[in-house]
Structure 1
Amino acid sequence: MRNKERFQKINWIVFGALLFVGLLLLSEGFDGTRKLVDSQSFDAGQSRLEFRWDSSQTALAAVLLFFSAILAIVWKRVFPFNVPLAMILSGFFYALFTMAYLTGWGGIIGFVGFVLFVSVGVIMILSYTVYFFR
């Protein structure tokens, strides 16, 4: 395949940058939520850290693990789309993690990360598709 090393480098640099941004968002969300719990402001009880796991999270986790296993099996065959697909799955895992641990407005951080991961993954898939089929 033409330019394989270049595509691999682009994939992993973008994925690493997104993981870094996601971890920053997550740490800010947890820190901000922890500070809200300690404060006496009127909106202190709206967002809090608590572990919530019910059947919807279990079903989402099972589906995500299934798709992750499929992606691991076909990893080399779907190059260069493998890392963008992993980004999309990571966005779902990110949202699942924040749904399980953040309540209230803090949970929006999970959906911001989800949208970020999915949109960058879809843009990369579209750009690779246009590049290969032009």
Structure 2
Amino acid sequence: MVRLTEQYERVFRCFDEDGDAEATHALTGGELVLQEVEVAVESLDSDGDGLLCLEDFIGFMEGRAEEEKMGDLREAFGMYVTDGRRFITSETLKRMLSRLGQSKTVDECEAMIGHFDLDGDGVISFDEFKVMMM
């Protein structure tokens, strides 16, 4: 099984046309103007040499993956949250599980929430949801 870092390295190498272990095209996809590339490289350039090295690229890709994961988690959390609330209650959990074909009682849902309710308030916040899902 290929590790994610190895996959990033293979992608980076595709954009490192002259083999000098530096690439800006990998960041831009060739669609940004020079000024945008300079700003992007400056924000990612960990050693201040004005170049994007493999480690900078991996950091960028891992950051994007983390942002995407958080977006997915927020979307999933939103499916359980209703009535404008910012947390999952036993009632909203019961409702969502029912939609998914799992019949649970409110008491069963309270017990499920109790496993991940880190602050003991009887509901699941987004931060608790993240812990539960990871």
TM-score of the aligned structures, taking structure 1 as reference length: 0.31
Q: Indicate the structure with greater helix content.
A: 1
- Larger gyration radius, structure 1 or structure 2: 2
TM-score of the aligned structures, taking structure 2 as reference length: 0.31
